[in-house]
Amino acid sequence: MRCVNVAKTALVTGANKGIGFAIARGLGDIGFRVAVGARDDARRKEAVERLRAAGTDAFGVALDVTSDDSVAAAAATVERAAGSLDVLVNNAGIAGRVDGGRQDPTTLDLNVVRTVLETNVFGVVRVTNAMLPLLRRSDAPRIVNMSSNMGSLALRTGPLLAAYASSKTMLNSITVQYARRFSDTNIIVNAACPGHVATDFTGFDAPRTPEQGAAIAIRLATLPDGGPSGGFFDDGGAVPW
């Protein structure tokens, strides 16, 4: 049953596959018009077609989160297609090169760190700031940053991935800074942990489905006015920092 005004529009970055596609599908299922952000033209087109076949009003947005020009063009595309933006899900992310399944901080190539940060942190800031004028036109703008409990300084979970885990720690921190900045507005921003999900990111060796991983993002994207902001959540609630 569709329970969201069909005029609402959501942009999901990295939405052509995995958790991003599941988020796009889930938001479409509750009535959002979905902008599918992805770099690859063919995969983006295929994702849009799959969403439309499932009944979602979807359109593609060429988007490379590491490029200022691409992000600016993406904002213009969303403005032409929808006029405003209600939900932004910053899902695009990379793990970075690993050596033996690890990123050992004692041998870490700084170029790997730079590459990971460029997508996982700088890309989020770049996209968020470019979409802010459109989000401010919404009655209930929501921003969801897809993080990981590997970024928690308290939990210290998962394998040793010094570049990836640190990027998620920084993403959690920048989420708090945005929440502080938006504290006197109606913009709500939170970080979400999807859990250990079976995607190409994990070599499809994980217990959770993309749909299960997408659930927390959809929940945060549809928070009511007055909902929490600046938090870090998974299916069980707040994640320890």
- Tell me the three state secondary structure of residue 81: helix
236 to 128, 135, 216: CA distances (angstroms): 26, 28, 9
Which residue of the set 8, 45, 168, 178 is catalytic? 168
- Tell me the three state secondary structure of residue 95: coil
Which residue of the set 17, 45, 164, 178 is catalytic? 164
How far apart (Å, rounded) are the C-alpha atoms in residues 14 and 92? Answer: 4
Q: Based on the residue annotation, tell me whether 164 is a catalytic residue of this protein.
A: yes
65 to 128, 156, 182, 240: CA distances (angstroms): 10, 27, 22, 28
Write down the residue that tokens 């590459």 correspond to. Answer: 115
How far apart (Å, rounded) are the C-alpha atoms in residues 60 and 108? Answer: 36
DSSP string, 52-71: HHTT--EEEEE--TT-HHHH
Catalytically active residues, by annotation: 164, 168
